[in-house]
Amino acid sequence: MSEYSPDEGGGPQVRTLYGRRKGKKLRQHQAELVSGTLPDLAVDCAAPIKDPRALFAHAPNELRMEIGFGGAEHLVYEAARHPHIGYLGCEPFVNGVAKLLVQIEEKGLHNIRMHQGDAREVLLRLPTAALARVDVLYPDPWPKWRQRKRRFLSVENIAEIARVVQPGGEFRFATDIDDYAGWVLARVLKSQSWQWREAQADGRPWQKSWPDWPGTRYEAKAFREGRPPVYLTFVRTSA
85-90 and 62-67: which strand pairing? Answer: parallel
**Count of domains in the chain?**
1
230-236 and 165-175: which strand pairing? Answer: antiparallel
This model's pTM is above 0.75: yes
Confidence of residue 143 (pLDDT cuts 50, 70, 90): low
For residue 237, the model assigns a pLDDT of 95
Backbone angles phi, psi at 235, to 5 degrees: -105, 135
Confidence of residue 148 (pLDDT cuts 50, 70, 90): low
**Statement: residue 134 has pLDDT above 90:** yes
Whether the Cβ atoms of residue 103 and residue 109 lie closer than 8 Å to each other: yes
pLDDT in tens, 24-81: 788 899 999 999 999 999 999 999 999 999 999 988 999 999 999 999 999 999 999 9
Q: Which of 135, 140, 176, 178 is catalytic?
A: 140
Give the CATH number for residue 129.
3.40.50.150
Whether the Cβ atoms of residue 2 and residue 16 lie closer than 8 Å to each other: yes
140: annotated active-site residue? yes
Closest CA to 140 of 151, 156, 131: 151
pLDDT-above-90 percentage for the chain: 68
Domain that holds residue 81: 2-236
CA gap 171, 194 in Å, rounded: 9
Residues for the chain: how many in total? 239
User: What is the Cβ-side half-sphere exposure of residue 184, based on CA atoms within 13 angstroms?
Assistant: 30
Which of the residue ranges 3-17, 82-96, 102-116, 144-158 would you say has the lowest mean pLDDT? 3-17
Whether the Cβ atoms of residue 71 and residue 98 lie closer than 8 Å to each other: no
